[in-house]
Chains A and B, each alone.
Chain A
Amino acid sequence: MDHASFDDFVASLSTRLLRTPYLLTHDRALAEDLVQTALSKAWFVWGRIEGRPEAYVRRIMVNTYASWWRRRWNGEEATADLPERRPEGHRADDVRVDERTDLWRALERLPKRQRAVVVLRFYEDLSEAETAEIMQCSVGTVKSQASRALAKLRIDPSLRPACDDERDGERDDERDGEHDEERAR
């Protein structure tokens, strides 16, 4: 592959490539930084990449992210608007919106490698073997990291179900999740 194909690759896949690091970092600027870091690393070996370049770049991004703690800075979150006040008597949809925010924040509390497994398995829909290849670890490690990540999310205080009905529903979902992981093996 020549570097003209690299430019084409960057131009056509930038948006797709940006999503994974954004889900990893929860910070658009940092995600863009991560994409550019990975792409510039890939540039130097572009002619020697075996297999799909996208997978290779994704692998660099994930592993750079996992070892990137020292490069983080004190992040300021700039917001254009003040957050809306929560209405007094909220409807079911309102509850759902709040749950998503809580879940997003709960994801932020996961250790980096666990968050990476969650993103690769449940957003990218990669198999355990594919996830292991990208993270350069064993399938067993992927399984254990995924299991720990889900366990942490389930016991996260902000995500605990408020009533028995929701708890029952969650048990059903947990069983679905086990089946899902079983299928991926």
Chain B
Amino acid sequence: MNLTDLRDELTTHADDLGSAPDFRAGVADRVRRTKRRRAAAAGAGAALAVAALAVGTLASLGRPAPSVPAGSPSSAVPMLGTDGMPYRTVPDAPGDITKDGLRLRARVADDLLEGGAIGDRGQSRIAVDWVPSSTSVSLVGACYLDGAGVGRASEVELRVRIEGMQGYFGSTCLGRPTERDLPTRVFTPGEPGRGWAELTVRRPATLIVEVVDRTTGKPLDGSDVQVAGAVYTDLGHHTPIRDASGKVVAVIPNTIEHQGYTYTQVRMSSAPLPRWQDLTVGVDPGAAMVLWGSAGEGLTGTDAPDESGMRLARYPGGSVTRGYGWWGTDVLPADSTVRVTASTQGARAAHGSGFIAVYAPSP
């Protein structure tokens, strides 16, 4: 072995690699997930600290954040988004709440808006009254800081709570979003599939969304802040995911939406993480979505194996990884094959379940 051989070897393999795929969509997806994850971590920490809104598994953060309802990608020649999936802008509908380029949709897939508000710029607190028709709700809280740097964002905290209850979900403030539609599922309190026991059907409740000083907890004054909040009721059908003991650790929707189009679950596989084996799922022709990951009590907490998790390999389309206890959607190129692999380096999760569900365009 000499240095010339070494250089040649490295160069040859590098040259054989060919062109890289376009990473922009994948990177944008990871950035979005990181933001959600950071918000989730803040929310989980705050909720645990005050132990009141309790029961909240922040499962919703692993859930898809569908943007809009409606038809099928095959109903017309669709535009394509940056991720290669059909894309369309859905016009405002009755019941939508809009302000300053933001929108809370009245209906998104199976999520129905029960109440919501988008505050004025400089208004750091809003209250949303509603009468629960179900205990299966998700709470939305969002906070935007105009032109704020990391320093400013780290000084403030967004709190989402129910008036009269102790505790809150905490989150962080972000810069102005590039997408118009706010997510429908930010916090989903309660046990998976069983609703939120703290809530009583038909008893009026008030959602409070406010920005406070992170250190003092006092309300924040500032012209650069804008908050929004909403309550959505989940009317849809779901598929329960159970762990080895039979306990439901997550419920995944049978219908999801992506960029204005709906997708319906066509197959799903799950298995307990301790005996997880590589799972390969074929995808039918046509654009599709996959919802995958793992769920289980404490998987994302302090007993979670650090940096271990699951990996989704898409051929073609590259791979994505996701830590234990997190799940969400990814796009699938047409005619691809999906393989989900649980990480086996580091400690494998001792409980919980992994799952993968494939969604096809709704007819």
Which residues of A does B touch, CB under 8 Å? Answer: 7, 10-11, 14-15, 17-19, 22-23, 28-30, 32-33, 35-37, 39-40, 43-44, 69-74, 76, 99-100, 103-104, 106-107, 118-119, 122-123, 150, 153-154, 156, 159, 169-170, 172-174, 176-177, 180
Q: Is B313 close to A, CB under 8 A?
A: yes
The distance in angstroms between the C-alpha atoms of A124 and B278, with both chains bound, is: 36
Partner of A36, one of B3, B19, B318: B318
Which residues of B does A touch, CB under 8 Å? Answer: 1-14, 17-24, 26-27, 30-31, 34, 278, 306-309, 311, 313, 318-321, 341-346
Given contacts A29-B318, A33-B320, A70-B307, are A154 and B6 in contact (CB under 8 A)?
no
CB pair A14–B17 under 8 Å, yes or no, is: no
CB pair A119–B31 under 8 Å, yes or no, is: no
The distance in angstroms between the C-alpha atoms of A156 and B26, with both chains bound, is: 39
CB pair B3–A11 under 8 Å, yes or no, is: no
**Nearest CB in chain B: distance from A47 CB, A:** 9
Contact partners of A177 in chain B: CB under 8 A: 2-3
**Nearest CB in chain A: distance from B133 CB, A:** 39
| Chain B interface helix/strand/loop/mixed | mixed
**Nearest CB in chain B: distance from A60 CB, A:** 12
Sample (8) of A-B pairs whose CB atoms are under 8 Å apart: A10-B23, A35-B23, A40-B27, A43-B31, A70-B343, A70-B345, A100-B8, A180-B3
Contact partners of A17 in chain B: CB under 8 A: 20
CB pair B2–A169 under 8 Å, yes or no, is: yes
4 cross-chain pairs, A with B, having the tightest CB-CB distances, nearest first: A173-B2, A40-B30, A70-B346, A14-B20
The distance in angstroms between the C-alpha atoms of A43 and B29, with both chains bound, is: 12
Contact partners of A69 in chain B: CB under 8 A: 345
Nearest residue in B to A42 (C-beta to C-beta)?
B27
